[in-house]
Chain A
Amino acid sequence: MEMNRRALLLTSAALAANVVAPEAAFAQEQPRRGGIMTVHFPTEQRILNPSLQASTGVYIVGGKIQEPLVDLDAAGNPAPCLAESWEATPDGKTITFKLRQGVTWHDGRPFTSADVQFTAMEMWKKILNYGTTLQLFLEAVDTPDAHTAIFRYSRPMPLNLLLRALPDLGYVSAKHIYEGTDIRQNPANTAPMGTGPFRFVQYERGQFIIADRNPNYWRNNMPYLDRVVWRVVSDRSAAAAQMESGQLLFSPFSALSIADFTRLGRDPRFEVTTRGNEGNARTNTLEFNFRNPILADIRVRRAIAHALDIPFFIENFLGPFAKVGTGPIPTTSPDFYPANMPQYPFNRAQANRMLDEAGHRRGAGGVRFNLRLNPAPWGEDIALWSTFIQQSLNEVGIRVEIVRLDAAGFLRTVYNDWNFDLATGWHQYRNDPAVSTTVWYRSGQPRGAPWTNQWGWTDAETDQVIDAAATELDTARRKALYADFVRRANTELPLWMPIEQIFVSVINRRLRNHSNTPRWASSSWHDLWLAS
C-alpha cells in the first residue's frame, strides 16, 4: 500500500513537472497490462550484472533485472528500493539500512541482509568500478538480523554522498549464486539473477537479450509489461530506421546521430528528450598535458580557453541538447552547483594578446606552435568538437594535428603513455562530485587510470579541499568546499569543461510512465506500460 502511494506520487510529480508534454493528456488513462518493450542496445557488454560494472551499457539491461538498495525519486532525492529506511550515527562511521521484507530472488530464495553483506564486501569494495573508491574505508557490514545491514566505515562517510551514489553503485547480487565461485567468471554475470521486475530469459550474442515479467515482484501487480527485448543494433542510421519502422520503441543514451535527433524530434510519433537522464550529465573536456612546457604555462591554457566560441559551436553543431558549461560541476546538480565561478568567454583578441605575452610570437605562416589533439572515439559530438578546436586554435596561430584512435588506443595513449598535448572526451558527473569528478583534479592517481588527473599537474591546496569535502558530514559546509574546489579548478585550469550535455532519449509515444525519474533509462521500469 505504502509503495503504491509512493508510485502514484512519483507519477503525478513527473506529470506536474511536464505540463506541456503530451503525456499530461493521458493522466487519467488506465495502465494497460501486457505488451513487449523493445530497446536499442548499441554495444554489447562483457558483463550484465550492475553489482560488478557501473556503466550505462549495463544498467540499461541489468537495471531491470537487479535492484539497488536506494533509487532516486522524481525530484532526484534518494528513495527506498531494496532498503526501506536508513540512518547514520553522528560520527558518520556507521550507517544502518533496514531492508525490505518479503522480497525474493528470481529463483525463489528470500532476499536477506547476507546478500547485502556479500555484495558490498566482495563486489562493491573489490570489483565494482567507482565502488572500490567509494567503499575504500568500508570495514565490515554487520547483519544482526535478516533485514538489517550495518555498514561500518573507518572514516566518516557522508550519508548524502552514499545515498546519492547507491542508485548506481548499490545493486545487490544473490550471495547463494556467487559465494565460493570465481566472481569474474560466474555464468550469472551474463545471465543475471535479481529481485527486479523482469527475469532474465536469454542472451543471444550479436542479436538480442530477452527478459520476461517477474510474476512474484514485490511491488504488487507490477510490472505492466510482459517482456523486454534488447536488440543489438550497432549502426546509428539503422537504429533510427528501426525506431521509425517500430521495431524499436526506445533508443537510450544519445545512441542516434545528432541529425536524427532533430529529424525524429519533428515527427509526432516520437519524443526526443533529455528528461529522464538528468542524473547522467556529462561535460566535454579539454585536457592539457603539463609535460609540454608550452601548456604548463597558465597563460597559454587560458588563451586556448578564450579562443573557443562555445555558444557558436553549440548552436551550429550540437543543437538544443547541449549548453555552455561552467566547470566540473554541471547545473543539473543544484545541491553542489556553485554560481559565479571564473569563466573564459570567447575573446580572440585577448587570446592572441595572452599568447604574445607568454612569449609565443607568430612565426612563419602566422604559426606560433604545434600541438597534437587526441579526441576520444565515443560520441559524434567529440569528433565535431575536436575539429572545431583545431579550426579555432588555427585562428590564433596554434596549429593542431588531430590523432584519432579507437577506444583502447585512446585510453592507453593518453592516460598511460601520456603521449598527447591536448585530449578531449567526456567527463561523466555521477550526482556527487566525490564519485567521479574530483579524481580528474586530485593528484596522486595511479598511472594508467583513465578519466583521472594524468596531466602532470599537482596542486596541494586543491588536493586538500577535495579530501576535506569527501569526508565532510555537514551538507552546507560540503557545498562550500566544492565551490572552493570549482573556483580553484577554473582558475588553475588543468583541464577545461566548457560544454554541458545530458544524454538524449528517443522514445516512441506509445510508451507511458517513461522518463519519470532522473535516471529512468537505468531504472527498473516497473511502472512502464505500453498504450495500444
Chain B
Amino acid sequence: MPTLLIILAAMFLLLQLAPGDTVDALIAQMGGGGDAKLAEELRRFYGLDLSIPAQLGNYVWRLIRFDLGFSAIYGKPVATVIFERLPATLALMTAALSFAFSVGLVLGVIAAKRVNGWPDTVISTLGLIFYATPSFWFGLMAIVLFSVHLQWLPAGGFEDVAAGLTGFARLRDIAAHLVLPTLTLGLIFLAIYLRIMRASMLEVLTLDFVRTARAKGLDETRVMVRHVLRNAMLPMVTLIGLQAGTMLGGSVVVESVFSLPGLGRLAYEAVVQRDLNTLLGIVFVSALLVIAVNFLVDLLYARLDPRIGNGGAP
C-alpha cells in the first residue's frame, strides 16, 4: 500500500510538470473562441483553481474513502469509466498471454528436442523476426491481409454494434474481433516464451534426475512431460507474472490499431487530455491487477515446485 501511494503521488507531480492542464486540452478540442471568463469558470469546475498541494491532498483524501474521483474527459466517475474498459483489456490480455504461453511452450519444446536441427533453426529465426517487428506494423499488415483483401475478419472494434447481436452470436462476434489483436499482441511475447522455454529445456535435459528417469526405463514422453517440462516451466511462470503488467500498459499500440476500448488507450487519452483523476485511477487499478496476477503466480510456483511451498526446505 505505501508503494502504491508513492507511485500515485509521483504520477500526480509528474503530470504537473507537463505544460498545460485539462482546460487547455478541452479548449484545443473546442477550437478556441472561449473568452478568459470561460477558461476561469472551467478551471473552477474541474477543481484546478486550488494550489497543487491542496489538489493532491484532496485526491489522497478521496482515495482513502475509495473514491477515484470524476473523469474530466468522460464526465462520469473514474471507477465507472475504468470498469467499462476492463472487459476488453482483460479479454485481450488473457487471450494474448495464453496464446503466447501455449504456443511458445510447444515451439520451445520442439526446438529444444531438435536442438541445432532444421526445426530449431526455423523456429528460432521466426522467433527473432516476431520479436524484432514492431507490433503496430504487424497489426496493420494483418488488417490489410485478413480484413481488407481476404475479408475473413473484421478490421477493428470490439464487436459489430450495427448488427445488434445477442447471446452466443455476440460472443462469437467478439471472438472474431479479438483474433487479430490477440495474434499481434501475442506474437512478440511468443518469441520471448519460446526462447526461454528452449533455453530452460536444454538446461534441465542435462541434469542428473533426467538421466535417472531415463535409466529407470521411463519412456521418452513421460520423461519429457513429468520431469523435464515441469521443471523447465518455472522461468515461464515467473515471466507471466512480470509480463502481466507490461501487457496492461503495452497494449496502447494494439488497442489503437484495432480500435479496442482498453485501458492502454484510456491512459494515453488521459495523458493527452491531462485528465489526472482518470490517469491515477488507471495506475491504481493496474497496480491492483499486477498484484493479483503475481499472487496467482506465487500459488502456481508452489504447485509446480513443492519445495517453494513448504517454507523453503531443500
The smallest C-beta distance from A391 to any residue of chain B, in angstroms, reads: 26
**Does any Cβ of A come within 8 Å of B265's Cβ?**
yes
Q: Which B residues lie within 8 Å of A43 (CB)?
A: 29
Q: A449, B154: Cβ atoms under 8 Å?
A: no
B250 to chain A, nearest CB (A): 16
Task: Render A44-57 as a binary contact track against B, CB cut-off 8 A, 1 for contact.
Answer: 11100000011111
Q: Is the CB of A241 within 8 A of B144?
A: yes
Question: What B residues does A36 contact at CB under 8 A?
Answer: 162
B111 within 8 A of A: no
Partner-binding segment picked from B69-77, B91-99, B209-217, B241-249? B69-77
Q: Which of A55, A208, A408, A412 contacts B30 (CB 8 A)?
A: A55
B161 touches A208 (CB 8 A): yes
Within 8 A of A (CB), among B129-144: 136, 139-140, 143-144
Measured between alpha carbons, how far is A245 from B142 in the docked complex, in Å?
Answer: 13
A502 to chain B, nearest CB (A): 16
Cα distance, A28 to B130, chains bound together (Å): 54
> Which of A184, A235, A410 is the one whose CB lies under 8 Å from B256?
A235
Of B24, B26, B31, B161, the residue contacting A207 (CB under 8 A) is: B161
Contact bitstring B181-212, A, C-beta under 8 A = 1, else 0: 00000000000000000000000000000000
B164 to chain A, nearest CB (A): 9
> Beyond A234-B256, A413-B19, is A46–B72 a contact (Cβ under 8 Å)?
yes
Please pick, from A38, A406, A412, A446, the residue contacting B162 in the complex, using a CB distance under 8 A.
A38
Neighbour of B24 across the interface among A131, A133, A232, A411, CB < 8 A: A411
B34 touches A408 (CB 8 A): no
Query: Is B119 in contact with chain A by the CB < 8 A criterion?
Result: no
The docked-state distance in angstroms from the alpha carbon of A408 to that of B19 is 7
Does the CB pair B269–A44 fall under 8 Å?
Answer: yes
Q: Which residues of A contact B113 (CB under 8 A)?
A: none
- Given A53-B30, A244-B148, A409-B20, check contact A238 B155 (CB 8 Å): yes
Interface magnitude class on chain B: 35 or more
In the complex, B22 has a CB within 8 A of chain A: yes
Q: Is the CB of A238 within 8 A of B20?
A: no
Q: Write out, one digit per residue, whether chain A residues 19-61 have a CB within 8 A of any chain B CB (1) or not (0).
A: 0000000000000000010100001111000000111110000
Interface flag for B36 (CB, 8 Å): yes
Q: Is B29 in contact with A205, judged by CB distance below 8 angstroms?
A: no
Please name all residues of chain A whose beta carbon is closer than 8 Å to the beta carbon of B162 when the two chains form the complex: 36, 38, 227, 229
Query: Sorted from nearest, which 8 A-B pairs have the closest CB atoms?
Result: A408-B20, A206-B261, A130-B33, A129-B33, A446-B36, A412-B20, A407-B28, A451-B32
What is A's interface to B at a CB cutoff of 8 Å? 36, 38, 43-46, 53-57, 127, 129-133, 184-185, 189-190, 204-208, 210, 227, 229, 231-235, 237-238, 241-242, 244-245, 247, 378, 405-413, 416-417, 428, 436, 446-452
**B interface residues with partner A (beta carbon < 8 Å):** 18-22, 24-39, 45, 72-75, 81, 84-85, 136, 139-140, 143-144, 147-148, 151, 154-158, 161-162, 256-259, 261-262, 265-266, 269, 272-274
